[in-house]
Chain A
C-alpha cells in the first residue's frame, strides 16, 4: 500500500515538476498539439478511405489521361478539343482562372488607385459620386455583380446579325466583342529583336541615370528618353522591315463572327465584375494609406521646394505604399478565389472544368477537388510570395 501511494505521489510530483519547468512545459504543449493535429489528419484520412471503400471507389488519378469528351470553347492559350485528355481540360481551366485573375488584379488595382485618390478629392461632387459607387459595389455580393454584368451584355447588346459596328473592324454583340487580330508576317522577328534591345537599353540607361543623379545631382528626363527610344526604334524597325503586320478582321459568317479575336461575354462579365468589386475595397485601402501619411511630410517637402507632383511621387506614395501593400495582397487573394464563381455564367475556369464537368463525368470527387484546391493554394502562395517580396523591398530601411 505504502509503496503504491508513494509511487502515485511521485508521479504527481513528476508531472507538476515537468509542468512548472518552462522548457518541458513547452515540449508537452507541442506534443499535445502535434497529437491533436495528427489525430485529426488520421481521422480525416481514415474517414476518406472507409467512405471511398464503402462506395467501392478507388483513389487514383488515371482518369486524367483519358479523353475528356467535352468541349471547351474558350481556350485562348492552348489547343483543346473534345478528344483531349482530362488533364488538358484541367490545364485549360487553370489557365483560364489565371487569365481572369491576372487581368482582374491589374484592372482592380488601376481602378482602386484612381478611385482611392478621387475619394480624397476636394471636389465635393467627385468625392461623393465615388463614395456612393464604392458603397454600392462593396455591399452587394460579388455573384450578383457577375450575373448583372453578364445579363447586361447578353440582354442589352444586339445579336451578331445586328452587331454594333465600329469602323467595320470592331463589333460588339451579345456573343462577345470581336476585334481585329494582328497577324505577324516575315520580318516581324526583326521588330521584336529591336524592341527587346531598346528595352534592355532603357533599363541600363535608367540605372545609369540614377547613379548619375546620386553622385552629381543632375536629373535626366528618364521617362521622355525611354519612351522615345522604345517607340522610335521599334517604329523605325517596323518601317525598315516593310511593315510586316496585317490584320485579321472579324466578319459575320453564318451564325457568328469568325476571324479576329473574340472576347467572350463570360470573360468580360467575370473580369469586369471581379475588378470593380475588388477595386472598391482597394480604393478604401489606398485612401487609408494616403491619409496615414502625416500632413507634416507634405509641408516639409514643400518647404524644401519640391513641386506638388514630385512631393506625391517621392514623398507620399512611397510611404503610403508601405501601408497599402499588405492589405492589397489579401484583396488579390480574394479576387482570385472569387473567380471560382465563374461557373455561374459558364466561364470555363478550373472549378467549371476539372472541379465540375470532369468530376461529374468520372465520379472522382476526391481527386478532382484535390486538384482544384491545390490550384488555388498555389496561386495564393505565389501571390503572397510576391507581395512579401515587394513588401520587403518597400519596407523602411532603418539606419
Chain B
C-alpha cells in the first residue's frame, strides 16, 4: 500500500508542477520599460571603454553605447545600471538574465554565436590582439617571445589566440591567467609577466593608466581579428533588432553629418533618410516598439559614432586610438550601416 500511495502522491505533484504554466518571460523590451532601467553587462574596468569616474559615474565607449540604448528605449541615457563582469562570467550573467544587453569589448566568434547561444549585432569596434612589453626588454617582435611569461585574461579569445599563435610558431610560454584587466595590470607592472596581451585597444587603454606609459611598446604583430560588438540572448528578435539599430543609428548619423550639436536643426533637413532616422517621417520607431524619436534621443544625448569614439578613446584622449579600421566606409574604414529605409 505504501508504494502505491507514494506513486500516487508523486504523480499528482508532478502533474501539478507540470501544469504550472511557465510565466513565459515577457520580452526584454517590456521588462526594461517596466523596470525603467537598462542593465548592461560591462567590464570591471578598462580605461576609455568602461570605468567609473571619480564620482562613480560610469564612462567610456562601451558605456556610451549602453547609454545610447537607454536613450532609445527609455528616452533617458542616465537610466542605466552597469552590471560588471569579468571575461569569464559575462555570458553566464547575460544568459542568467542579470543583464539585458552586453556591451563589453566582446569578440564575435562562431562558438559564442552558435554554442553559447548569443545574438550579435554588428561590430562597433574592429580590433585585433596585440602584445605589450617593457622597452627595457629590447624585444622588437612577437617572434622573439619564446619562453616569456605572458599575462592573459581567462575566458577570453585572447588565451585561445595566444595558444594557437605560439603553437603554430613552435614557441613556448608561461601563461599567467588572470581574471580582470586591473589585476593583469598589477601583475604586468609588478613583473610577474614579461608581456601583457589582449585586444590592441585594451592594451592602449591599459597603458594609458601606467605612470610611465612611454616605457612600454605595443609590438607590431596583430595576431587575430577581434570584431567587438554587443550581444543579447537568443530568442528575443524584437530586442535584438533594437540593439542592432541603435548601433546603426549612430553610424548613419555620422555618415549623414548629424551631430549632437546640430540634431535639432537636422529635423528640418531635406534628406529623407535623415528625416526617417530622426522620426520626422515614417514609423520606424513604432515598428521597433519604441517612440518615434528614439534615434533623435540617441544623437541628442550621446552623439553619433564618431563623437562617441573621439570623446572616449580618440587621438585627443590619453588612450589615443586613431579611427583606422573604425572609420566610416566612405573614408576607407569598415564602419558601414545598412540604409534606414
Interface residues of A (CB under 8 A from B): 27, 31, 34-35, 38-39, 42-43, 46, 50, 54-57, 69-73, 81-83, 154-155, 159, 174-175, 253-256, 258, 265, 343-344, 346, 348, 352, 356-357, 359-363, 365
Contacts and interface: CB of A to CB of B under 8 A. Distances in A.
B14 A255 contact: no
Interface string B12-26: 011001100010000
Contacts of B167: 81-83
Contacts of A81: 167
Nearest to A344: B179
Nearest to A360: B155
Contacts of B2: 27, 31
Interface in B109-126: 111-112, 115-117
A362 B115 contact: yes
Contact of A174 (B116, B192, B233): B192
B159 A357 contact: yes
B47 to A, nearest CB: 22
B91 A38 contact: no
Contact of A155 (B22, B155, B190): B190
Interface of B: 2, 5-6, 9-10, 13-14, 17-18, 22, 87-89, 91-92, 95, 111-112, 115-117, 137, 145-149, 154-155, 159-160, 162-164, 166-167, 173-179, 186-187, 190-192, 194, 233-235
B7 to A, nearest CB: 10
A71 B159 contact: yes
14 contacts: A31-B2, A34-B6, A55-B117, A69-B164, A70-B163, A159-B191, A256-B174, A265-B192, A346-B178, A352-B177, A356-B88, A360-B91, A361-B155, A363-B116
Given A254-B147, A255-B194, A360-B87, 11 more contacts: A35-B10, A70-B160, A70-B175, A71-B175, A73-B174, A82-B160, A154-B191, A159-B191, A258-B147, A346-B176, A346-B179
A38 to B, nearest CB: 5
Given A35-B9, A42-B13, A360-B155, A82 B116 contact: no
A327 B112 CA distance: 46
B17 A39 contact: yes
Contacts of B13: 35, 38-39, 42
B17 A43 contact: yes
Contact of A254 (B9, B116, B146): B146
Contacts of A356: 88, 154-155
B86 to A, nearest CB: 9
Given A42-B17, A256-B147, A361 B111 contact: yes
Nearest to A364: B115
Contact of A82 (B87, B112, B164, B174): B164
Q: Which of B14, B154, B167, B233 has the most CB of A within 10 A?
A: B154
Q: Which of B5, B9, B147, B177 has the most CB of A within 10 A?
A: B177
B149 A175 contact: yes
Contacts of A265: 192
A73 B233 CA distance: 33
Contacts of A69: 160, 163-164
The 5 closest A-B pairs by CB, nearest first: A363-B116, A82-B163, A360-B155, A254-B147, A346-B177
A199 B163 CA distance: 45
A232 B137 CA distance: 51
A43 B117 CA distance: 24
A361 B159 CA distance: 10
A50 B111 contact: no
Contacts of B190: 154-155, 174
B284 to A, nearest CB: 29
A39 to B, nearest CB: 4
Nearest to A36: B13
A73 B174 CA distance: 6
A344 B179 CA distance: 7
A31 B6 contact: yes
Given A38-B10, A363-B91, A154 B187 contact: yes
A262 B147 CA distance: 14
Given A82-B167, A363-B115, A42 B87 contact: no
Q: Which of A35, A50, A174, A360 has the most CB of B within 10 A?
A: A360
Contacts of A31: 2, 5-6, 9
Contacts of B175: 70-73
B171 to A, nearest CB: 11
A46 B17 contact: yes
A97 B194 CA distance: 27
Contact of A348 (B17, B177, B191): B177
A365 B147 contact: no
Nearest to B118: A363
